[in-house]
Amino acid sequence: MENKIIQSSILKESMSYKKLDCGLEVYYMPKMGYSKQYAIFATKYGSNDSNFIIPGEGKETHVPDGIAHFLEHKLFEEKEGSIFDKFSELGSNVNAYTNFTSTCYLFSCTDRFYENLELLMNFVQSPYFTDENVEKEKGIISQEIRMYDDNPGWKVFFNALRAMYHNHPVKIDIAGTVESITKITKEDLYKCYNTFYNLNNMVVFVVGDLEEDKVFKTIEDNLKEDHTLGDIKRIYPNEPNSVVKEIIEEKLDVSIPLFNVCFKDWDVGKDGKELLKKEISTKILLDMLFGKSSKLYSKLYEEGLINDSFEADYTGDIDYGHSMVGGESKDPKLVRDKIMEYVKKVKAEGLCEKSFERVKKKLLGKHLSSYNSVDNIATTFIAYKFKNINMFDYMEVLESMDFNYVNKRFKNHIKEETSALSIVSPK
């Protein structure tokens, strides 16, 4: 089967795509003249996926919180030692990350790309879990969890999620808890690996100045015995539109309080272009309301209530979403009150169309420049791929975004009744 070409006439970029017989999807994006090359091997499996039905089985499987992150750590260990050393010998940088919905293994290099790609393909397909190495890892990850428990930025973020979400697993720390990871067994890890690391649930994305045929051949030549399964049924609990609590506060070693004012998104269940449209409209909206050029930012800054750490962002997936506005402030509750007053005022007066056009142009420029980074291209591609979004659609959706749509999104999403405030204040 020939490779399919996916093109963007607006961006003047293209990528080749092939779905292999085993179900693995492979993408290659040429970036001619670039010295850096990048590859990412990802599975649609993150910390949210702790309840699922294995294909072919009728009953629900539940595994301990934090297992996706634990599995990511363990995959770097082989009988002969650590995979990091092998990549190091090839002069490349290898890394991995687990988030709520995916686990990704990646490397970047400027030389010996195909050897690195072979190594990536092989180690991700070669789990080596023993009772001894699983027990040893529990101590390492417990330390990591305790370290994050003392991290004010991490705490203010996850406390905000806990204040918003009643049941959805997004409120649970990606690494789990010290208690939950003690329950993880070698058998649990193999169960999750065999369920979610099946090639039908995975994607490889490669970007750089490379030979297309050699990229695809290297990947195909390094596929292990096929353990492809059918569709995995992921089970998520019902989540009400309301928030759990209006304010959540914790005391840590900080000199100035940290805060997040968050707005829970009730308009969920979308994927593809619909989700992309919602994401772009919300990012435009947040910049208009809370960006450094906004009236609110200037006012709060002049009053000494915020500093330049103040920013806003939207996170949206298929089954959950939220906006967060936060930073440092000597009086987070007053900032929250002023944000709500400002929102009411703008809702009464209407958004500014000039501001909309300015922010839209800014986002266009930012998106275009993101194609200068192979790292950014790869991580963005994977994040969008698992939401059924074609990365190349971004420009088209952004260019066609209209003011009325953003106004409608403003009225539906930025509401006091679906907001919460998370504060980390000095002890």
Instruction: State the catalytic residues.
Output: 72
Query: In terms of Cα–Cα distance, which of 212, 25, 219 is closest to 125?
Result: 219
Half-sphere exposure of 42 (CA within 13 A, CB side): 27
The pair of structure tokens assigned to 76 is 């770097």
Q: How far apart are CA 70 and CA 198, in angstroms?
A: 18
Q: How far apart are CA 199 and CA 121, in angstroms?
A: 11
Coil vs helix vs strand at 40: strand
Name the CA radius of gyration of the chain, rounded: 23
Q: How far apart are CA 188 and CA 180, in angstroms?
A: 12
Residue that the structure tokens 């809370």 belong to = 290
Coil vs helix vs strand at 311: strand
Query: Which residues are within 8 A (CB) of 106 and not within 5 positions of it... i.e. 6 or more apart?
Result: 38, 39, 40, 41, 94, 95, 96, 120, 378
Residue that the structure tokens 């194609």 belong to = 371
- Asked whether the beta carbons of 160 and 247 are under 8 A apart, the reply is no
- Asked whether the beta carbons of 36 and 208 are under 8 A apart, the reply is yes
Query: Which residues are within 8 A (CB) of 81 and not within 5 positions of it... i.e. 6 or more apart?
Result: none
Q: How far apart are CA 289 and CA 350, in angstroms?
A: 11
CA torsion sign, 211 to 213 to 219 to 224? negative
Count, in order, helices (H) and strands (E) of the chain: 15, 17
Strands (E) located in 317-397: 321-328
State the maximum Cα–Cα separation within the chain, in Å, rounded to a whole number.
66
